[in-house]
Amino acid sequence: MKARITVMLKNGVLDPQGRAIAHALHSLGFESVDEVRQGKIIEVELASADEAAARKELDDMCRKLLANTVIENYQVELLS
């Protein structure tokens, strides 16, 4: 089973990297850009075949290591 985890800074947490990307897009002429937020994607391959168990385990991984829940939100998506 394969999972894709998206980790993003929480709303309200300043994202200076996103702001720098927005600034770069503006200077390239993409004037319609309002705001950019950036984050990271982590793909995990699991030996587990049970979807519910996998979701529970992935959630545990996110809370313990993959995301810092003081500043970040995460979203887990099962791909196969």
Q: Report the interface residues with other proteins, using CB under 8 A.
A: 13-14, 16-17, 20, 64-66, 68, 70-71
The three-state secondary structure class of 51 is helix
Comparing CB distances to other proteins, the nearer of 14 and 28 is 14
Question: What is the spatial distance between Cα 55 and Cα 62, in angstroms, rounded to a whole number?
Answer: 11
Please, what is the minimum distance in Å from the beta carbon of residue 45 to other proteins?
17
| Shortest distance, position 12 Cβ to other proteins, whole Å | 8
Minimum separation from the CB atom of position 70 to other proteins (A): 4
Letter for the amino acid at 71? I
Q: Walk across the sheet containing 72-78 and list its strands.
A: 39-45, 2-9, 72-78
